[in-house]
């Protein structure tokens, strides 16, 4: 197996495991830090180690356009290029192509789209995606998939799923480096029967892990949680399960309860740049006038450099002045918050207290995250 993975402890469906990559072990459940263009905006690799990041996620679509595959071939891959010595997962670019609906054409061959860098037309096929990810040198590659809107017609979702299956097999056949793991992506929108068909097809083949894609693209929270719980049970017990692009701390708590092992989302850094922090008592919008005279720390329960060294009023001041330090400090905090949550979740699974832990965490922060609380229905 290219990516050794073991589940050490279970608490209900929640799993505590370890997967081993060429660049180190990853303790799961784990949140993967999004570094789309071989960088986490405003942070360097030393910062990523400080906040507890285990895995960096890069995006093939963006990296193929800039700096281009030639750069990775010249320098020996993404690890040397950005001086990151931990594991890297690369997304195939399927979601970005989905988001370019007005400026791309899909065919059985692949996706033809216009480069936002120089305006040239580009073709991304399953084979080309694997070629690019191989040159980038990621530890975990993703197959190229078709990601429809969750509320597209069932006919459209089925067609996208079936093409995803064909592309997955082409991606598997195109892999040339046995040391690079390859994950398949289960599609099917919010239709349980399609998710079941997708999982049944893909799990017949020798992929190193399985992802749930096509969520958080128009679905509601209740739809997403129901499909995640349903589909996670369909995946092999001995391979890692990855929920793509999801989500808030509450999303993670619920999905871990369903047995998901890996997550990624741009929210911790994206919202940091908008002045929003995730804290132990919910979100804090630091740009609000109420914080102009607050001498409190951002989160008294957080050990990060931001919370230990700076007040809310100072952070507010930085954002009002449009100083880059403000976004950097919030990014450091938000990633620390996410990684600390995962560490606490792993400990709770090990101690057999995950259900109580997740309920308590969710009730502390959920009023700032979402309108509904799914745990209340079975409390």
Residue 276 CA, chain-centre distance (Å), reads: 19
| 91 is a catalytic site residue | yes
* End-to-end Cα spacing for the chain: 41
Q: Where are the beta strands (DSSP E) in the chain?
A: 5-11, 14-21, 24-28, 30-34, 56-59, 88-91, 104-106, 111-114, 121-124, 140-142, 181-186, 209-212, 241-243, 262-264, 276-279, 282-285
Q: Contact 340/52 with Cβ under 8 angstroms?
A: yes
Catalytic option among 11, 91, 139, 219: 91
Residue 140 and residue 248: Cα distance in Å, rounded?
Answer: 23
Which of 208, 219, 261, 264 is the catalytic position? 264
Cis peptide before 247 (omega within 30 of 0): yes
Active site residues: 91, 264
């Amino acid at each position: 197996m290219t990516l050794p993975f073991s589940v050490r402890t279970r608490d209900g469906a929640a799993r505590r495991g370890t997967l081993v990559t060429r660049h180190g072990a990853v303790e799961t459940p784990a949140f993967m830090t999004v570094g789309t263009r071989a960088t986490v905006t405003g942070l360097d690799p030393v910062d990523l180690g400080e906040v507890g990041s285990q895995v960096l996620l890069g995006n093939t679509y963006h990296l193929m356009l800039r700096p281009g595959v030639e750069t990775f071939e010249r320098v020996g891959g993404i690890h040397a290029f950005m001086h990151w010595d931990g594991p890297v997962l690369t997304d195939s670019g399927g979601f970005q192509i989905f988001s370019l609906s007005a400026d791309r054409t899909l065919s059985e061959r692949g996706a033809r789209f216009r480069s936002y860098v120089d305006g040239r037309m580009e073709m991304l096929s399953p084979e080309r995606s694997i070629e690019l990810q191989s040159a980038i040198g990621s530890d975990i590659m993703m197959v190229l998939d078709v990601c429809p809107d969750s509320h597209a017609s069932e006919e459209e979702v089925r067609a996208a799923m079936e093409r995803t299956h064909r592309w997955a097999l082409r991606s598997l056949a195109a892999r040339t480096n046995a040391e690079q793991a390859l994950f398949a992506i289960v599609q099917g929108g919010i239709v349980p029967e399609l998710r079941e068909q997708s999982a049944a097809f893909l799990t017949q083949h020798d992929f190193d892990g399985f992802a749930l894609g096509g969520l958080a693209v128009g679905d509601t929270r209740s739809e997403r949680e129901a499909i995640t719980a349903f589909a996670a049970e369909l995946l092999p017990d001995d391979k890692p399960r990855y929920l793509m692009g999801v989500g808030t701390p509450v999303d993670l708590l619920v999905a871990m309860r369903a047995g998901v092992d890996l997550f990624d989302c741009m929210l911790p850094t994206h919202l940091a740049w908008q002045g929003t922090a995730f804290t132990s008592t919910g979100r804090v919008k630091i740009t609000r006038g109420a914080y102009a005279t607050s001498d409190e720390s951002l989160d008294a329960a957080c050990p990060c450099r931001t919370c230990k060294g700076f007040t809310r009023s100072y952070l507010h001041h930085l954002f009002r002045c449009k100083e880059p330090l403000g976004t950097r400090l919030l990014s450091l905090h938000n990633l620390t918050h996410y990684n600390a949550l995962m560490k606490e979740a792993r400990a709770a699974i090990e101690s057999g207290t995950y259900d109580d832990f997740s309920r308590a965490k969710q009730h502390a922060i959920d009023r700032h995250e979402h309108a509904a609380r799914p745990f209340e229905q079975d409390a």
